[in-house]
């Protein structure tokens, strides 16, 4: 006579499922061991790569900052010719860093101060194209382009650029000066009514700006003509 089959307790059932799962998992690991090892190696290499890149990036930024300080000191001392190759090196060797962006702006200003307005405009434009987000630097670059036009006697181009800079950065500390210079260039170009309109805009929008006094004097000169 057959003995009745023993019923397994809940604990025994749980342990039996656990053993089955372990056996199945172990078999799967053995069957896919080469794939697993490949994935693990890839993950290790990824972690190592990220660590190396982070450290290399930090070192790159550190070197760029040190060179930028040296070049800026020459600029502040008025040694523009000597500063140009240093800023050029920073721009070329540390692309993508904040120092390279600032270096490009200073490079443009160096060319401007050495009367090389063509190169100055080129680098002001490259800065605006490559490095966005900083209002002060953006306004400086746009104003720099306008100043290049002004120095070359391209007064109407200067009016347009100064006006554009004032419209784009109305909250900038440079905005009143941009409007004043736009008005002066409009007057030089014979655009008297436009000059008056720009001066009125300056006085109305920035009544507390130091440029207001110059604007009122220029307006009086225009009225007397």
Whether residues 122 and 164 fall in one domain:
no
180-197 average pLDDT score? 95
Whether residues 39 and 115 fall in one domain:
yes
Residue 20: its pLDDT value, please? 61
| Distance from C-alpha of 66 to C-alpha of 34, rounded to nearest angstrom | 48
Residue 204: its pLDDT value, please? 95
Whether residues 107 and 147 fall in one domain:
no
Who wins on pLDDT, 156 or 129?
Answer: 156
Cα–Cα nearest to 203, from 194, 212, 214 = 212
Residue 18: its pLDDT value, please? 54
Tell if the pTM clears 0.85, that is, is over it.
no
DSSP conformation class of 133 = S
Whether residues 100 and 148 fall in one domain:
no
80 to each of 72, 86, 133, how far by Cα in Å? 10, 10, 27
Give pLDDT tens digits for 86-127: 999 998 988 878 888 889 999 999 999 999 999 999 999 999
Whether residues 72 and 151 fall in one domain:
no
Whether residues 145 and 128 fall in one domain:
no
User: Is the pLDDT score of 155 beyond 50?
Assistant: yes
C-beta separation of 125 from 145 below 8 A: yes
Is residue 84 included in any domain, yes or no?
A: yes
User: Is the pLDDT score of 198 beyond 70?
Assistant: yes
Whether residues 150 and 219 fall in one domain:
yes
14-43 average pLDDT score? 53
Whether residues 146 and 128 fall in one domain:
no
| Distance from C-alpha of 39 to C-alpha of 94, rounded to nearest angstrom | 34
Residue 199 is part of a domain; what is its CATH number? 1.25.40.10
Who wins on pLDDT, 2 or 75?
Answer: 75
Whether residues 157 and 123 fall in one domain:
no
Name the domain boundary from 132, 153, 175: 132
Q: Provide the percentage of residues in the chain whose pLDDT is more than 70.
A: 72
Question: How many CB atoms are located within 10 Å of the residue 17 CB?
Answer: 10
Who wins on pLDDT, 198 or 25?
Answer: 198
Cα–Cα nearest to 116, from 81, 141, 77 = 81
Question: How many CB atoms are located within 10 Å of the residue 213 CB?
Answer: 9
Give the domain range for residue 211. Answer: 141-225
Is residue 11 included in any domain, yes or no?
A: no
Residue 34: its pLDDT value, please? 59
Residue 43: its pLDDT value, please? 45
User: Is the pLDDT score of 30 beyond 90?
Assistant: no
Whether residues 192 and 163 fall in one domain:
yes
Tokens coding 186: 């409009």
Question: How many domains would you assign to the chain?
Answer: 2
Label residue 75 by pLDDT band (50, 70, 90): very high
User: Which H helix or E strand runs over 66?
Assistant: helix 33-76
Is residue 13 included in any domain, yes or no?
A: no
Name the domain boundary from 78, 104, 132: 132
Whether residues 128 and 147 fall in one domain:
no
Strands (E), the chain: none
Tokens coding 22: 């372990």
| Distance from C-alpha of 10 to C-alpha of 157, rounded to nearest angstrom | 88
Tokens 């523009």: give the residue: 80
Who wins on pLDDT, 197 or 7?
Answer: 197
69-74 average pLDDT score? 89
Residues sharing a CB contact under 8 Å with residue 37, sequence separation 6 or more, in sequence order: none
CA contacts within 13 A on the Cβ side of 60: 16
Name the domain boundary from 100, 132, 164: 132
Residue 79: its pLDDT value, please? 95
C-beta separation of 212 from 179 below 8 A: no
Residue 131: its pLDDT value, please? 76
Average pLDDT, the chain: 81
Whether residues 154 and 194 fall in one domain:
yes
Is residue 14 included in any domain, yes or no?
A: no
Give pLDDT tens digits for 49-64: 434 334 445 566 677 7
């Amino acid at each position: 006579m057959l003995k009745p089959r023993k019923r397994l307790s809940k604990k025994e059932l749980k342990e039996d499922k656990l053993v089955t799962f372990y056996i199945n998992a172990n078999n799967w690991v053995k069957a896919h061991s080469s794939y697993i090892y490949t994935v693990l190696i890839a993950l290790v290499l990824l972690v190592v790569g990220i660590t190396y890149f982070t450290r290399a990036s930090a070192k790159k930024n550190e070197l760029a900052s040190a060179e930028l300080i040296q070049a800026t000191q020459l600029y502040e001392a008025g040694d523009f010719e000597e500063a140009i190759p240093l800023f050029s090196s920073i721009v070329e060797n540390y692309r993508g860093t904040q120092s390279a962006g600032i270096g490009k702006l200073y490079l443009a200003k160096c060319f401007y101060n050495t009367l090389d307005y063509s190169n100055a405009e080129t680098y002001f434009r490259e800065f605006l194209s490559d490095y966005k987000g900083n209002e002060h630097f953006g306004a400086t670059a746009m104003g720099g382009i306008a100043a290049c036009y002004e120095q070359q006697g391209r007064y109407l181009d200067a009016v347009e650029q100064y006006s554009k800079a004032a419209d784009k950065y109305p909250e900038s500390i440079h905005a009143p000066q941009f409007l004043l210079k736009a008005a002066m260039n409009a007057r030089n170009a014979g655009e008297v009514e436009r000059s008056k309109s720009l001066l009125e805009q300056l006085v109305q929008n920035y009544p507390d700006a130091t440029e207001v006094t110059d604007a009122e004097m220029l307006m009086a000169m225009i009225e007397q003509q």
